Amino acid sequence: MAKTNGKNWLRAKGSASSKVTFLELFFDLVFVFSISQLSHALAAHYTPQGAAEAALMTFAVWWVWIFTAWVTNWLDPDKMPVRGMLVALMMLGLLLSASIPEAFGDKGLLFAGAYVAMQVGRSLFTTYAMTRVDRANTLNFVRITTWLAISGVFWIVGGLLEHEARLIAWVIALAIEYAGPAAGFAVPGLGRSTARDWDVSGAHMAERCALFVIICLGEAILVSGRTFSELPFSGLTSVVFVTAFVGTVAMWWLYFRFGHGRAAHRIEHEETPGSLARQAFTYGHIPILAGIIVHAVAVEFMFSHPHETGDLGIAAAVLGGSGLFLIGNLWFKGATSGRMPLSHLAGLLFLILLAFVAPFIEVYLMGILATLVLIVVAVWEYRSLTGTEAAPTLH
């Protein structure tokens, strides 16, 4: 239980205090740049190695953001020291984002240094903020800082290495960090955290993640609008533009119509909200984020190679963006509703079937079909859940 003293930088308990602050929204602006950099980097280096590198950086960007979201679930951004910490993280995040295109080139050490400074620096600050205020969470953040410091060694070493050696070192670093929550951040002599230690505000966590999804969807909108404005006007570019827009809207609908609200309500009434938040938000949102980024890349390919056929890489982007997004929503909604949405499983099956015919159809037609799958899933879910949201059956 938090005590009240002059150094208490924690949020007060209650629904009003769980609202996302303007500073948190301001902080998220850095990640608009990050998402843009990630999608452009993947589109520019669309090879197996380029995809692996983009995936690793996506995991890193999400991890630094979600860890900050967890921290601001406890710390009050209206307190001046917390504001200072978030502004410092913004500056480091800007350096991180700016280095993304050359993270596996000349700016590897800049990327690694900014990332480690954000992760370790934020955790050290939170440890200090919890001292003499929340004893249990002080111990939690000592454990977290230990894990992040160990992974930070691999980040920095990777920044000093080159090519495949850098990729291997950074994969090890990410593996350590992603294993941390599942392992309870166990540290010899300090024990491990339990689900009951993570008393989070479900409304705050749900709203923070929803806003991040909006950022990602905004990048997809920007890609389609910017590319359309740069190309000569024609019937084909108009069809691709409408397809990209409708596909993005379908993604928005699938996430927000039933997923977001139910998740916030469920986690608020969960006996161990930290465990559910870790499953639904910390891990479950990763394929949602990846799906939207790949969708943005697919939009670029639909504009630049509309009549291409037989390119399995482009087909993987066009169908994979929708597929990853559905997998993420399947995970997210399954964790927060207690049942797997049949509509999403069917959508994934449709996409798999489309993969067999993808080599024989043009890219823009494949994009139309992938968008139709999302629309079918959205309509199916809407018709099955409207008025029967409490039904314990598959939908």
Amino acid at 21: T
pLDDT of residue 111: 97
Under the banding of pLDDT at 50, 70 and 90, the label for residue 73 is confident
Provide the residue count of the chain: 395
In the chain, pLDDT over 70 holds for what percent of residues? 89
pLDDT of residue 279: 79
Mean pLDDT of 318-335: 93
Question: What is the signed CA dihedral for 354, 219, 284, 279, rounded to 10 degrees?
Answer: -170
From CA 32, how far away is CA 28, in angstroms rounded? Answer: 7
- The owner of tokens 């409708």 is 246
Per-residue pLDDT reduced to its tens digit, 143-184:
999 999 999 999 999 999 988 899 999 999 999 999 988 888
pLDDT of residue 167: 95
> Any idea what DSSP says for residue 280?
I
- The owner of tokens 């995991």 is 59
141-163 in b/e form (b: 16+ CB < 10 A) is: bbbbbbbbeebbebbbbbbeeee
Tell me how far CA of residue 155 lies from CA of 60, 166, 171, 183, 339, in angstroms: 11, 9, 9, 20, 38
pLDDT of residue 163: 85
pLDDT of residue 386: 77
- The owner of tokens 């994009």 is 367
pLDDT of residue 285: 92
Mean pLDDT of 120-138: 87
Per-residue pLDDT reduced to its tens digit, 81-106:
999 999 999 999 999 999 999 999 99
Mean pLDDT of 271-287: 80
DSSP secondary structure string for all residues of 100-150: GGGTTTTTHHHHHHHHHHHHHHHHHHHHHHHTTT-HHHHHHHHHHHHHHHH
234-239's contacts with Cβ under 8 Å and 24+ in sequence apart are 236/306, 236/364, 237/303, 239/364, 239/368
Q: Say whether pLDDT at 1 is over 80.
A: no
C-alpha 85: how far from its chain's center?
A: 22
Q: Say whether pLDDT at 197 is over 60.
A: yes
Query: In the chain, how many H helices and how many E strands?
Result: 14, 0
239: left (phi over 0), alpha (psi -120 to 50) or beta: alpha
Per-residue pLDDT reduced to its tens digit, 333-380:
888 877 888 999 999 999 999 999 998 999 999 999 999 999 999 999
Mean pLDDT of 297-305: 92
Q: Say whether pLDDT at 232 is over 70.
A: yes
Q: Say whether pLDDT at 112 is over 60.
A: yes
Q: Say whether pLDDT at 215 is over 80.
A: yes
Under the banding of pLDDT at 50, 70 and 90, the label for residue 128 is very high
Q: What is the residue-averaged pLDDT of the chain? A: 87
pLDDT of residue 394: 38
Q: State both tokens at 254.
A: 């699938």
Under the banding of pLDDT at 50, 70 and 90, the label for residue 387 is low
Per-residue pLDDT reduced to its tens digit, 29-50:
898 899 989 999 999 899 999 9
| More confident call, 104 vs 8 | 104
Q: Say whether pLDDT at 2 is over 60.
A: no
From CA 18, how far away is CA 234, in angstroms rounded? Answer: 48
